[in-house]
Amino acid sequence: MLSWLFPSTCELCGETADMTICPDCLRNLPRIPAPICLHCGAPTAGQQTAPDRCEECAGHRRPFYMARQALRQTDEVMQLIYAFKYHKAIHLAQPLAELLNELWEKTPHLCGRTDWVLVPVPVTHSKLYIRGFNQAGELACALGRCRKLRVENLLIRRETGVASQTRLMASARRLNAMRAYRLKRPGLFGRRRNYPAHLVLVDDVFTTGATARACATQLKKLPGVKEVVVLSLVRIGT
């Protein structure tokens, strides 16, 4: 009824649509092309290393079991992310989560179980105050509604007073991220017996994987947590 009275328009083509990105535009957004690194999700076409691992991942162990991203970085994709994140276009969470859901359907490891719990990458209190929402949290909630999965916000926090990742080089990102993400109220953990064993960390972008590694390292300290899979909307730099 509401959508009949106030039809929305597609953020990309401007056509009237049920969703804020119309099905055609959603279909046309650039997916990550196969083949990909089975560990971090990077496209591996043209690389000389083993076909199932990218050069970065060959020989490295990472705290997350696997990472996957839905889209490649293009101007159009970054405009969408920018609008979603900085212009409070919170209505984009649902169509963007559809892309994460599509990625989920294409990932047998995720489809193999139904007890996943979604954990959004946290933002600092000041960002939450300025933006009014956590973009990763909105994505996780929309994906959770779609797949009927629980969202857990109480496990990790983003420290204030640690620089934003955006402007840092790769090596600085790793150190910075390790300082920036901490378990929430670690003193209380002993009182809770069962943490969910299978977690999916949800974020909007995946750049060097530093944030994913830092969050997964913290999450795996929780008793009972067996694995962390990282699901992001966009892979930066591909």
Kindly list the residues in this chain that would bind Zn ion in the complex (CB under 5 A): 10, 12-13, 22, 25, 37, 39-40, 42, 54, 57
54 or 214, CB closer to Zn ion?
54
Instruction: Supply the minimum distance, in Å, between the C-beta of residue 43 and Zn ion.
Output: 10
Q: In Å, what is the CA distance from 160 to each residue of 123, 128, 157?
A: 9, 11, 9
Instruction: Supply the minimum distance, in Å, between the C-beta of residue 118 and Zn ion.
Output: 23
32 or 162, CB closer to Zn ion?
32
Instruction: Supply the minimum distance, in Å, between the C-beta of residue 194 and Zn ion.
Output: 32
Q: Per-residue b/e over 89-121, b at no fewer than 16 CB within 10 Å?
A: bbebbbbbbbbbbebbeeeeebeeeeebbbbbb
Q: What is the SS3 string spanning 38-81?
A: CCCCCECCCCCCCCCCCCCCCCCCCCCCEEEEEEECCHHHHHHH
11 or 137, CB closer to Zn ion?
11
**Both tokens assigned to 188:** 């209380």
Cα separation, 236 vs 238, in Å, equals: 6
Instruction: Supply the minimum distance, in Å, between the C-beta of residue 22 and Zn ion.
Output: 3
Instruction: Supply the minimum distance, in Å, between the C-beta of residue 111 and Zn ion.
Output: 21
Cα separation, 41 vs 44, in Å, equals: 9
Cα separation, 29 vs 105, in Å, equals: 17
10 or 117, CB closer to Zn ion?
10
Instruction: Supply the minimum distance, in Å, between the C-beta of residue 42 and Zn ion.
Output: 5
75 or 115, CB closer to Zn ion?
75
Q: Got the DSSP string for 71-129?
A: EE--HHHHHHHHHHHHS--GGGHHHHHHHHHHHHHT-HHHHT-S--EEEEPP--HHHHH
Instruction: Supply the minimum distance, in Å, between the C-beta of residue 210 and Zn ion.
Output: 14
21 or 199, CB closer to Zn ion?
21
Place of tokens 């916000």: 153
